[in-house]
């Protein structure tokens, strides 16, 4: 026995309602993305790259200035790179009309501290600007250095406790590592990822430290 068009219409309507309900349930129960920088290369990939690296004596900071690495660049509208990272790395972040973070929660991976005020956070360049300069960026154009200083595609920028970032300064992993040991493997992967992409050199102490960390990952 054939169903009438009206019966088909009702069945199609019921099916559409079920699909919509399932879709909404999936959206509501789906886990939110982790508040973190882009995922770095694996420890295995990082070690493979390091095996090809010939250590090079680090250059000097002669001629270096942070102004040669223009930051923070506008990303969209009134939002610059700093505010974009604060939004990305935090949870429940509220921004005002100027894109400044006025509230939220931030977990600093370097030291395990949690903050509710954006003023307590720095945006760390994983590979510091002065370190990049000594490793080859001194020969780049200012435009390329600007891209490096505002790189949101690689794991180069991360929101962390300001005092910890200031303690790091421009040191490489041979001289400084995050005090939270659980993050050191990720940090080493981030460092290698960034240096590999940007073609920056490594000195022997830096390379040895990275290999030792990654071998323990």
- Contacts of 42-46 spanning 24+ positions with Cβ under 8 A: 42/189, 43/185, 43/188, 43/189, 43/214, 43/217, 46/188, 46/189, 46/192, 46/193, 46/210, 46/214
- Contacts of 99-103 spanning 24+ positions with Cβ under 8 A: none
What is the spatial distance between Cα 101 and Cα 90, in angstroms, rounded to a whole number? Answer: 10
Length of the chain: 217
Q: Looking at residue 139, what DSSP letter applies? A: G
Can you give the pLDDT at residue 211?
Answer: 98
Can you give the pLDDT at residue 209?
Answer: 98
pLDDT at 117 over 80: yes
Query: What tens digit of pLDDT does each residue of 187-203 get?
Result: 999 999 999 999 999 99
Can you give the pLDDT at residue 4?
Answer: 40
What is the spatial distance between Cα 204 and Cα 7, in angstroms, rounded to a whole number? Answer: 76
What is the spatial distance between Cα 104 and Cα 209, in angstroms, rounded to a whole number? Answer: 35
Is the N-terminal amide bond of 141 cis, ω within 30° of 0? no
Using the structure block, give the residue that is written with the tokens 């070690």: 47
Q: Which stretch of 16-20, 171-175, 183-187 has the lowest confidence by average pLDDT?
A: 16-20
Q: What's the pTM value of the predicted model, to 2 decimals?
A: 0.84
Can you give the pLDDT at residue 2?
Answer: 38
Helices and strands: H and E segment counts in the chain: 8, 7
Nearest residue to 149 via CA among 79, 78, 67: 67
What is the spatial distance between Cα 115 and Cα 18, in angstroms, rounded to a whole number? Answer: 42
* Average pLDDT rounded to a whole number, residues 144-172: 98
pLDDT confidence tier of residue 35, bands split at 50, 70 and 90: confident
Can you give the pLDDT at residue 11?
Answer: 39
Query: What tens digit of pLDDT does each residue of 57-116 get?
Result: 999 999 999 999 999 999 999 999 999 999 999 999 999 999 999 999 999 999 999 999
């Amino acid at each position: 026995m054939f169903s009438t068009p009206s019966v088909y219409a009702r069945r199609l309507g019921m099916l559409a309602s079920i699909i919509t309900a399932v879709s909404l349930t999936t959206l509501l129960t789906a886990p939110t993305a982790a508040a973190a920088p882009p995922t770095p290369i694996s420890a295995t990939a990082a070690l493979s790259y390091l095996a090809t690296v010939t250590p090079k004596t680090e250059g000097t900071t002669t001629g270096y200035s942070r102004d040669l690495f223009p930051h923070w660049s506008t990303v969209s509208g009134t939002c610059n790179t700093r505010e974009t990272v604060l939004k990305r790395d935090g949870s429940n972040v509220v921004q005002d009309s100027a894109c400044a973070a006025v509230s939220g929660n931030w977990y600093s991976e370097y030291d395990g501290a949690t903050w509710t005020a954006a003023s307590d956070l720095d945006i760390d360049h994983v590979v510091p600007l002065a370190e990049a300069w000594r490793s080859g960026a001194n020969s780049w154009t200012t435009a390329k250095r600007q891209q490096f200083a505002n790189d949101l595609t690689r794991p180069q920028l991360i929101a962390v406790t300001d005092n910890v970032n200031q303690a790091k300064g421009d040191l490489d992993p041979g001289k400084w590592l995050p005090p939270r040991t659980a993050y050191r493997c990720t940090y080493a992967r981030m460092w290698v990822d960034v240096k590999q992409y940007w073609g920056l050199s490594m000195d022997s102490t830096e390379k040895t430290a990275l290999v030792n960390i990654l071998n323990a990952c």
